[in-house]
Amino acid sequence: KMIKKTALLLILFGISTCLVAQDATYKEQYRPQFHFSPAINWMNDPNGMVYYDGEYHLFYQ
């Protein structure tokens, strides 16, 4: 019975720390909130991010 309570407390503690950590990093003013990565392989130098007609476009070499 004590093992079950301890396991439950550890799980709840782990979940709560994850939620707090995610919330704190999102509120940082100069920290990027999005990260682009290609679907397959790798890409070279990303440049030329353009906002056009309500949508962002990212070009890379």
**45 flagged as catalytic:** yes
Which residue among the candidates 45, 47, 50, 52 is catalytic per the annotation? 45
Calpha distance 8→50 (Å, rounded): 48
For 25, how many CA atoms within 13 A lie in the half-sphere containing its CB?
8
What is the set of active-site residues?
45
